[in-house]
Amino acid sequence: MTPFTEAVVKIIKNIPEGKVMTYGQIAEHAGSPRAARQVVRILHSMSKKHRLPWHRVINGKGQIALRDDESYHEQVFSLEAEGVQIGLNGSIDLKQYQWHPETDSLPIERL
């Protein structure tokens, strides 16, 4: 596993219940701000193996990005079960639910 992939996995594992991060935000914290699409690939290929809370990762517009109907509804259900309110078109209020590891109470090591 590359250092970037290791960092992404660690960051995603640390997202607390009821909070979300964006693909780009994770890429930035992992040391490669322009690698949001790589975060998508890591989530897709490693979520089951590493038991990642994939449902806590959304796009930069604050929306659920999944197109597959079943996965979309699974993500909505999982986030709502953690207390995250989902608006129209799968939108999530980033001001309320976005996790900022550098300022929130659960610090994360930057790699």
Point out which residues pair with 91 in neighbouring strands: 63
Q: Is pLDDT at 86 greater than 80 in this prediction?
A: yes
Q: How many Å apart are CA 60 and CA 12, to the nearest integer?
A: 15
Percent of the chain with pLDDT over 90: 82
pTM: 0.88
For 3-97, CATH number?
1.10.10.10
Q: Is pLDDT at 50 greater than 60 in this prediction?
A: yes
The residue-averaged pLDDT of 6-28 equals: 97
Burial of 26 (0-12, 13-18, 19+ CB in 10 A): buried
Query: For the chain, what is the largest distance between any 2 Cα atoms, rounded to a whole number of angstroms?
Result: 37
Q: Roughly what angle, to the nearest 10 degrees, separates helices 36-50 and 3-14? A: 70
Long-range Cβ pairs for the range 87-93 (8 Å, 24+):
89/63, 90/63, 90/64, 91/61, 91/62, 91/63, 92/20, 92/58, 92/62, 92/63, 92/64, 93/62
pLDDT at 62: 95
For residues 53 and 11, is the Cβ–Cβ distance under 8 A? no
Q: Is pLDDT at 109 greater than 90 in this prediction?
A: no
Q: To the nearest whole number, what is the mean pLDDT of the chain? A: 91
